[in-house]
Amino acid sequence: MRKLFLSSLLISTLIGVLITIQACQPNVSIETAQYAVNGQKLYTTHCQNCHGAKGEGLGQLYPPLTDSIFLNKHRSQLACIVKNGMKGSIEVSGKKFDNEMPGIPQLNNVEIAYILTYVTTTFGNSTTTYTQEEVAKNIASCD
Amino acid sequence: MKIAIKQSLLSLFFFAAIVGCAPKADKKLPYIGEPDIEEKIVDGKTITDTIYHRIPSFSFLNQDSVLLTEKAFDNKVYIANFFFTHCPSICPTMQRNLLKVYEKYKGDDRVSFLSHSIDFKFDSPSVLKAYAQKLGVTNEQWQFVTGSKKDIYGLADQYLVYTREDASVPGGYDHQGYLVLVDKDKHIRGAYDGTNEEQVAQLFTDLEILLQEK
């Protein structure tokens, strides 16, 4: 009887854990989830002051990072924007932004990959890792 | 028996704690800053008077290039802070939080907002104007001012906020992100770290208390 109770407890715990994992990370691999977790720490340090804890931006000063269409369309430029900053006018979520963004040149490729995985999977609708290789390839062709 | 006494004592304690926490109508905020104790002789008797720290008079250019003095805040509760428009560190978070307070009290003429720029080189009135518009400030209730380094930094000391020009920090200026709550008589009644969510929540509570004060 006791054995039965214990084993059913174990099974239900396992199911519970599985459901929790599933609920937290829908459709992403363990690797992507790890990149995103590392990226969140870097995001808090380097990006959150302006872009906000939920990527909500601030008025027309700093654009939100929640516009999936923008993120997908400009995916190959994101690494350069993080590293070198950005000038000029852009349209995000239907609003115009023209403040200059400072770059963070001291970040290395893997750190940029962490940040962009976090941003594109948490605020955007991406389900894949923004890999180091992708960062390296895009950095090589920054304008 | 002993247990019963213990239990009733315990419940009494909890009751007291709950009652103690209940908001009271006569709750008052503290006066912040070093008070002056003045001795006066009235009708032959010596009486002592406590003069609380007050924000002195000031005169700055605002976002419309109009001179703004402390008179604009007479009989108003206001929240003051120190920032600069291209500040890469704490300012955006601080202004994001102050914007929440502004949005709640927009149109309520008992409450005003005053942001001082500590970047006297770059933040001209037109830069401040563009900043205010982009932040989402649409009326006169929130003023943005610029002045000489001596005047702005000197006034920051009076608000008990640390400001310094420092080439070694990002953006070139070092400062604290306090949101300073000032009452109708220009006494400081609270200071809240504008980058800390709990303290900003406390500001919302304290501002209501201050508005209820007679």
Contacts of B84 (CB under 8 A, 6+ apart): B91, B117, B118, B119, B122, B123, B171, B173
> Which of the residues in chain A have pLDDT under 50?
21, 23
The domain total for chain B is 1
Pick from A108-122, B47-61, B161-175 the range whose average pLDDT is largest.
A108-122
Residues annotated within the binding site of B for Cu cation are 87, 91, 175
- CATH code, domain carrying A121: 1.10.760.10
- The answer to whether position B18 is within a domain reads no
d(CA A143, CA B47): 75
Examine residue A9 and state whether it is found in any structural domain, yes or no: no
Residue A66, domain extent: 29-140
- What is the structure's pLDDT at A28? 85
Count structural domains, chain A: 1
Above 60 in pLDDT, residue B4?
Answer: no
> Which amino acid is it at B150?
K
Helix (H, G, I), strand (E, B) or coil at B39: strand
CB atoms under 10 Å from CB of A87, counted, come to 10
Look at A61 and B88 and tell me if their CB atoms are within 8 Å: no
Q: Nearest by CB to A58, which of B88, B90, B96?
A: B96
Kindly state whether A98 is in contact with chain B, defined as any CB-CB distance less than 8 angstroms: no
Q: How far is A125 from chain B (nearest CA, A)?
A: 25
Chain A's closest residue to B100, CA to CA, is A58
Q: What is the pLDDT of residue B196?
A: 94
Tokens encoding B100 = 């929440």
Give a yes or no: residue A4 inside a domain: no
Asked whether residue B90 is domain-assigned, the answer is yes
Structural domain contains residue A136: yes
Task: With a cut of 80, say whether residue B37 has pLDDT above it.
Answer: yes
- Nearest residue in chain A measured CA to CA from B90: A49
Whether residue A10 lies inside any domain: the answer is: no
Please tell me the predicted confidence (pLDDT) of residue A1: 60
Average pLDDT on B46-75 reads 95
First to last CA, chain A: 70
- The boundaries of the domain holding residue B124 are 55-212
How far apart, in whole angstroms, are the C-alpha atoms of residue A71 and residue A120? 7
Q: Is B119 left (phi over 0), alpha (psi -120 to 50) or beta?
A: beta
- The CA distance from B90 to the nearest CA of chain A, in Å, is 6
Q: What is the pLDDT of residue B43?
A: 86
Is residue B160 in a domain? yes
Reported confidence tier of residue B214, pLDDT bands at 50, 70, 90: confident
Shortest CB distance from A62 goes to which of B90, B92, B99?
B92
Task: Give the gap in angstroms from C-alpha A131 to the nearest C-alpha of chain B.
Answer: 27
- Mean pLDDT of all residues in B108-117: 97
Looking at residue B204, which CATH number applies to its domain? 3.40.30.10
Residue B175 located in a structural domain: yes
Out of A52, A58, A102, name the one closest to residue B88 (CB). A102
B15 within some domain: no
- Reported as a pLDDT band with limits 50, 70 and 90, residue B89 is confident
Q: What is the structure's pLDDT at A26?
A: 60
pLDDT at B122 over 70: yes
Does any domain span residue A19? no
Dist CA A19 CA B15 (whole Å): 41
Phi, psi of B14 (to 5 degrees): -65, -40
CA-nearest residue of chain B to A51?
A: B92
% of chain B at pLDDT higher than 90:
71
Q: Is residue B154 part of a domain?
A: yes
